[in-house]
Amino acid sequence: MSSSNAAKLAGRVHTHEGALYNPLARVLAISVITHDGNADLSQLDLEHVCRQGLPPALQMKNLFTTESSLRIAGAEMLASCPGRTTHQGKNF
């Protein structure tokens, strides 16, 4: 996603979960579902898509909810390992 139109909003680097709300990822997924074969960037209006910060159906609260889930997942993961202070030789 970031190499296709890095200078535009949707071409920015996103976290892994950020791909869930990336406008370019959305149109690529739709392209794969509705056409045979891989998504083809040449069939997309990249100028329009990459100017968007979020897909039209999403709002900023969706972005914040998605990004905050990473903190919750991390906290739950650490809480599920009480007393464990090392992993593969690294201290936590």
Structurally, how many domains does the chain consist of?
1
The pLDDT value given to residue 83: 63
Residue 16 has pLDDT above 80, yes or no: no
Assess if residue 1 is contained within a domain. no
Handedness of CA 30, 44, 12, 2 (dihedral sign): positive
Q: What is the pLDDT of residues 17-34, one digit of tens each?
A: 777 778 888 888 888 888
Assess if residue 86 is contained within a domain. no
Assess if residue 15 is contained within a domain. yes
Q: Look over the chain and give the mean of its residue pLDDT values, rounded to a whole number.
A: 74
Assess if residue 56 is contained within a domain. yes
Assess if residue 24 is contained within a domain. yes
Note down the domain range covering 18: 9-81
The pLDDT value given to residue 10: 54
HEC string of the chain? CCCCCCCCHHHCCCCCHHHHCCHHHHHHHHHHHHCCCCCCHHHCCHHHHCCCCCCCCCCHHHHHHHHHHHHHHHHHHHHCCCCCCEECCEEC
Assess if residue 2 is contained within a domain. no
pTM reported for the whole predicted model: 0.55
Assess if residue 43 is contained within a domain. yes
**Residue with the larger pLDDT of the pair 27 and 7:** 27
The pLDDT value given to residue 71: 79
Cα–Cα distance for residue pair 30/25, rounded to 1 Å: 9
